[in-house]
C-alpha cells in the first residue's frame, strides 16, 4: 500500500472526527464488536443456552478476528501516533496501555484448550471496553480528571489503607481474648475493617466486647470521612475541567496557536510545553489533553496568556 493509504488508515482507526464519515463508522463498528464479543462471553456461561453455543463461539471467533486485524493495523500505523518511524513506534504501542489491553483481548481465544492457566485471560477482553474512552471524547474528561489528580488519589488511598491496618490491629487487641478464632492475629481483622470502613456491614464478623463495639463505632465514623476524600478530589477535578471549558470568565486572556511548518512544539508532550494547554483542537474536534498527549501537526493549542 502507498504511504498515503497508511496515513488514511491511521486517520480512520483513530478517534473519529465530525466530518470524517468512515472514521465515525469505524468507531461505531468497533464499539459494536466489543459489546457483541462481551455479550457472547456472558451468554456462554449459561448452560440453559447450550443449544446456542456453536453460534456464540462463532461470534467469539469472528469478533476476535476483527480485534486481531485492528491490533495489526494499529501497530502498522503507530509511527503516526508517536511521530517515530520504524520498529521503535511499534514497540511503544505494544507496551502501551492500549496495546496491552488489545493483546489481552486476543490471546485468550488461542489458549482455551490445553492451557488452563491462560483461560482466565478470557475475562481480560472486558477491558477492551476501555477503547470506548478513546472513541468518545466525553469519556476522556473522566480519564483527564483521574490522571491529573492521581497524586491526591494515591495519597487518599494510602490513608484509607493505613486506617484499615490500624483498625485491624485495634480490633485484634480488643477481641482476641473473646474471639480467638475470629481475630486470630493482627491481620485477621482486615475483613472486618474493610466491611466497616466502607459501611457494608456483612455481619459475619463483629465485636462482642464493649471495647470492640466502641472501636467499631469509631471505625465506622472515620470510614465515612476517609471514603469521602477521594470522592471530593474527583468532584473538584470535574469542576476544574468544567471551568477550563468555560474559560473561567477570562476569555480575553485565551490564546490559540496552530502547529504548522517547523514549529518547535510539534512532537512535544503537553507537560513539556512552556505554557499550560487547556484545550487542543485536532481536525476540528476539541478535547482536553493529558500531560502525556503529544502535539501533532495542524493541532490548535488553546492556553491562557501569551507567548
Domains of the chain, CATH where assigned: 3-135 (1.20.120.350), 150-246 (1.10.287.70), 250-304 (3.30.70.1450)
What is the pLDDT at residue 1?
A: 43
Phi, psi of 26 (to 5 degrees): -65, -40
Is 209:172 a contact under the CB 8 Å cutoff?
no
Give the model's confidence band at 2: pLDDT under 50 very low, under 70 low, under 90 confident, else very high.
Answer: very low
Q: Please name the residues in contact with 183: beta carbons below 8 A apart, sequence gap of 6 or more.
A: 171, 172, 175, 176, 189
CA distance 49 to 157: 42
**pLDDT tens digits along 63-82:** 889 988 988 988 888 887 77
Q: How confident is the model at residue 133 (pLDDT cuts 50, 70, 90)?
A: low
Residues 6+ apart with CB under 8 A from 84: 92
> What is the maximum span of the chain, computed from C-alpha positions, in angstroms?
78
pLDDT in tens, 180-219: 888 888 888 888 888 888 877 777 888 899 988 998 888 8
- Segment 279-294 shows an average pLDDT of 77
Give this prediction's pTM. 0.53
- Our measurement of the distance from residue 69's CA atom to the centroid of its chain's CA atoms, rounded to an integer in Å, reads 23
First to last CA, the chain: 41
C-alpha cell recorded at residue 125: 477482553
15 in Cβ contact with 284 (< 8 Å): no
What pLDDT does 245 receive?
59
Can you read off the three cell numbers belonging to residue 142?
473522566
For a pLDDT cut of 70, what percent of the chain falls above it? Answer: 80
Amino acid at each position: 500500500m502507498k504511504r498515503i493509504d497508511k496515513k488514511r488508515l491511521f486517520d480512520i482507526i483513530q478517534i473519529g472526527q465530525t466530518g470524517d464519515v468512515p472514521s465515525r463508522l469505524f468507531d461505531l463498528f468497533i464499539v459494536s464488536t466489543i459489546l457483541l464479543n462481551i455479550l457472547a462471553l456472558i451468554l456462554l456461561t449459561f448452560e440453559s443456552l447450550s443449544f446456542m453455543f456453536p453460534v456464540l463461539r462463532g461470534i467469539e471467533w469472528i469478533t476476535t478476528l476483527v480485534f486481531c486485524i485492528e491490533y495489526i493495523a494499529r501497530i502498522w500505523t503507530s509511527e503516526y501516533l508517536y511521530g517515530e518511524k520504524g520498529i521503535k513506534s511499534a514497540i511503544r504501542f505494544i507496551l502501551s496501555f492500549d496495546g496491552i489491553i488489545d493483546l489481552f483481548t486476543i490471546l485468550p481465544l488461542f489458549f482455551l484448550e490445553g492451557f488452563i492457566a491462560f483461560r482466565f485471560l478470557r475475562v481480560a477482553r472486558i477491558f477492551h471496553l476501555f477503547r470506548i474512552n478513546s472513541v468518545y471524547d466525553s469519556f476522556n474528561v473522566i480519564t483527564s480528571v483521574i490522571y491529573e489528580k492521581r497524586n491526591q488519589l494515591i495519597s487518599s488511598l494510602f490513608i484509607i489503607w493505613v486506617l484499615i491496618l490500624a483498625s485491624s490491629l485495634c480490633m485484634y487487641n480488643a477481641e482476641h481474648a473473646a474471639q480467638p478464632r475470629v481475630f486470630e492475629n493482627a491481620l485477621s481483622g482486615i475483613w472486618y475493617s474493610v466491611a466497616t470502613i466502607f459501611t457494608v456491614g456483612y455481619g459475619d464478623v463483629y465485636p462482642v466486647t464493649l471495647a470492640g463495639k466502641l472501636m467499631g463505632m469509631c471505625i465506622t465514623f472515620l470510614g465515612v470521612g476517609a471514603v469521602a476524600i477521594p470522592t471530593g478530589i474527583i468532584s473538584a477535578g470535574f469542576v476544574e475541567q468544567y471551568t477550563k471549558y468555560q474559560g473561567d470568565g477570562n476569555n480575553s486572556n485565551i490564546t490559540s496557536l496552530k502547529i504548522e511548518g517547523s514549529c518547535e512544539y510539534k512532537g512535544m508532550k503537553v507537560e513539556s510545553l512552556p505554557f499550560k494547554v487547556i484545550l487542543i483542537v485536532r481536525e476540528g474536534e476539541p478535547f482536553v489533553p493529558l500531560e502525556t498527549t503529544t502535539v501533532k501537526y495542524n493541532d490548535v493549542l488553546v492556553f491562557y496568556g501569551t507567548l
